[in-house]
């Protein structure tokens, strides 16, 4: 059963049960000599401040509370927080269908952001289209900001006429000069230049990539026959074709090559590839992929069907 596409409090509550966990990745190295009081989170202890409503209770210094009778929050050096950058494709192909796959993309972005925030990572979600980063990213560094982040992301719309041009996007990320981080790319990956065009660019970012590909069963087999009008949803170019058995077999072969090139790209960049069916529940697929309560990116994870 697919999600409704609505990102409401019920959806956010379910997201908060997800964890990035077991990634085997540490997007930012620790200082060689720095202590690690919160092992596994990539944070270095810096100072205290009084607890206020909305603070993460996991940061409360309980030994200090026992001594003082007051609640204090441990502060950590944010320059050593794990960084998570989520790039969300807002090109025309993401908004073309009756149930746009951008809705699934928005839900996936918020779910992964929630998983990152639950583990005290610093998260940025950045829309892109037509080879450009669109405006400033939405940022959050605590789960108290998840609702604000979700509200912003759910308001993004696909850009008419904008193509999925990934190489310039990755070039822009590289030029931004972020410290090394986990970079999650959510897209249909229908780049007219092909997969091989953007693989060198994503490598040059220096980040740790995860590829989340939004698919539909009709991508592989549109199920059409006879005379049909085909429209390129990004360029609006139209063409009349006769969908013969020979032509449809050639189409399926071409899609198979695209699928294999995506698998090869994930291996080439030492990243992770996850396929999500835009017609099924995003949270259910992520939950099944991860196992109970944990969102994990397998070596080259197959999509959940």
Fold classification of 9-22+81-290 (topology level) = Rossmann fold (3.40.50)
- What SS3 class is residue 40? coil
- The 10 Å CB-count burial string (b at 16+, else e) for 51-73 is beeebeeebebeeeeeeeeeebb
Each residue's pLDDT tens digit, 9-35: 899 988 877 766 533 333 344 333 333
Task: Convert the pLDDT of each residue in 182-225 to its tens digit.
Answer: 899 999 999 999 999 999 999 999 998 999 999 999 999 998 88
Q: pLDDT tens across 58-77, in order?
A: 778 888 888 899 998 776 55
Tokens of 25: 């990745």
Pairing of the two strands 132-133 and 138-140: unpaired
> Do strands 138-140 and 182-187 pair parallel, antiparallel, or not at all (unpaired)?
unpaired
Q: Model's pTM, two decimal places?
A: 0.78
Residue with tokens 């999500």: 276
Q: For residue 281, give both structure tokens.
A: 């529940």
Residue extent(s) of CATH 3.40.50.410 domains in the chain: 9-22+81-290
Q: What is the pLDDT of residue 180?
A: 84
| 144 within 8 A of 178, measured Cβ to Cβ | no
């Amino acid at each position: 059963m697919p999600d409704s596409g609505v990102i409401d409090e019920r959806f956010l509550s379910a997201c908060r049960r997800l964890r990035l966990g077991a990634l085997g990745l540490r997007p930012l190295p620790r200082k060689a000599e720095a202590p690690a009081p919160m092992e596994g989170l990539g944070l270095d202890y810096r100072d205290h401040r009084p607890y206020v409503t909305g603070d993460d209770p996991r940061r409360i210094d309980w030994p200090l509370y026992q001594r003082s009778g007051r609640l204090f929050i441990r502060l950590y050096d944010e320059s050593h927080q794990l960084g998570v950058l989520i790039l969300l494709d807002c090109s025309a192909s993401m908004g073309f269908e009756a149930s746009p796959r951008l809705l699934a993309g928005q839900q996936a972005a918020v779910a992964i952001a929630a998983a990152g925030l639950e583990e005290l990572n610093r998260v940025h979600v950045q829309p892109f289209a037509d080879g450009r980063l669109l405006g400033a990213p939405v940022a959050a560094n605590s789960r108290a900001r998840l609702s604000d982040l979700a509200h912003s992301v759910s308001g993004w719309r696909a850009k008419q006429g904008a193509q999925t041009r990934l190489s310039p996007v990755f070039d822009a990320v590289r030029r931004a000069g972020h410290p090394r981080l986990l970079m999650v790319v959510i897209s249909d990956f229908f780049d007219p230049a092909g997969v091989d065009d953007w693989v060198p660019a994503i490598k040059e970012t220096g980040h740790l990539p995860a590829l989340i590909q939004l698919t539909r069963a009709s991508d592989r087999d549109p199920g059409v026959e006879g005379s049909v009008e085909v429209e390129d949803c990004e360029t609006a170019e139209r063409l009349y074709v006769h969908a013969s058995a020979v032509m449809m077999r050639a189409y399926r072969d071409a899609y198979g090559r695209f699928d294999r090139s995506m698998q090869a790209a994930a291996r080439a960049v030492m990243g992770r590839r996850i396929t999500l069916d835009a017609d099924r529940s995003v949270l259910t697929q992520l939950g099944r992929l991860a196992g109970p309560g944990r969102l994990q990116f397998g070596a080259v994870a197959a999509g959940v069907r």
